[in-house]
Amino acid sequence: MIGEIITTLFSKFPLVGAIGAVAIIMAFSYWFANLIGQKRMGSAIAIVISLALAFVAGKTTGGAKGISDVTYFSGFALLGGSMLRDYAIVSTAFGVKLENLKKAGLPGVVSLLIGVAFSFFVGVIIAVALGYNNAVDAATIGAGTVTFIVGPVTGTALGASSEVVALSIAAGVVKSVVTMIITPLIAKSIKLDNPTTAMVYGGLIGTTSGVAGGLAATDSKLVPYGAMTATFYTGLGSLICPSIGYMIVKMFL
CB of 36 to other proteins, least distance (A): 19
Which position among 28, 32, 51, 134 is part of the footprint of other proteins (CB under 8 A)? Answer: 51
SS3 28: helix
Distance of CA 22 to the CA centre of its chain: 18
- Contacts with other proteins, 68-107, as mask; x by CB under 8 A: x----x--xx-xxx--xxxxxxxxxxxxxxx--x-xx-xx
- The CA distance from 148 to 167, in Å, is 10
Binding flag, residue 140, other proteins (CB under 8 A): no
Q: How many CA atoms lie within 13 A of 12 on its CB side?
A: 6
Q: Which is nearer to other proteins, 103 or 250 (CB)?
A: 103
Which position among 178, 219, 250, 253 is part of the footprint of other proteins (CB under 8 A)? Answer: 178
Q: Which is nearer to other proteins, 5 or 200 (CB)?
A: 200
Q: Which is nearer to other proteins, 3 or 83 (CB)?
A: 83
Per-residue burial over 178-199, b if 16 or more Cβ lie within 10 Å, else e, is ebbbebbeebeeeebebbbbbb
- The CA distance from 80 to 167, in Å, is 24
- The greatest distance separating any two alpha carbons of the chain, rounded to the nearest whole angstrom, comes to 67
- The CA distance from 42 to 38, in Å, is 8
DSSP conformation letters of 216-243: HHH-GGGHHHHHHHHHHHHHHHHHHIII
Q: Which is nearer to other proteins, 3 or 159 (CB)?
A: 159
Binding flag, residue 33, other proteins (CB under 8 A): no
Binding flag, residue 175, other proteins (CB under 8 A): yes
Binding flag, residue 24, other proteins (CB under 8 A): no
CB of 78 to other proteins, least distance (A): 9
Which position among 136, 139, 177, 249 is part of the footprint of other proteins (CB under 8 A)? Answer: 177
CB of 8 to other proteins, least distance (A): 22
Binding flag, residue 218, other proteins (CB under 8 A): no
Nearest to 147 by CA among 57, 82, 61, 66: 82
Q: Which is nearer to other proteins, 219 or 250 (CB)?
A: 219
Binding flag, residue 26, other proteins (CB under 8 A): yes
CB of 181 to other proteins, least distance (A): 10
Give the amino acid at 237. G
Angle at 35 (CA atoms; ends 29, 36), nearest 5 degrees? 95
Q: Which is nearer to other proteins, 66 or 245 (CB)?
A: 66
Which position among 139, 183, 184, 245 is part of the footprint of other proteins (CB under 8 A)? Answer: 183
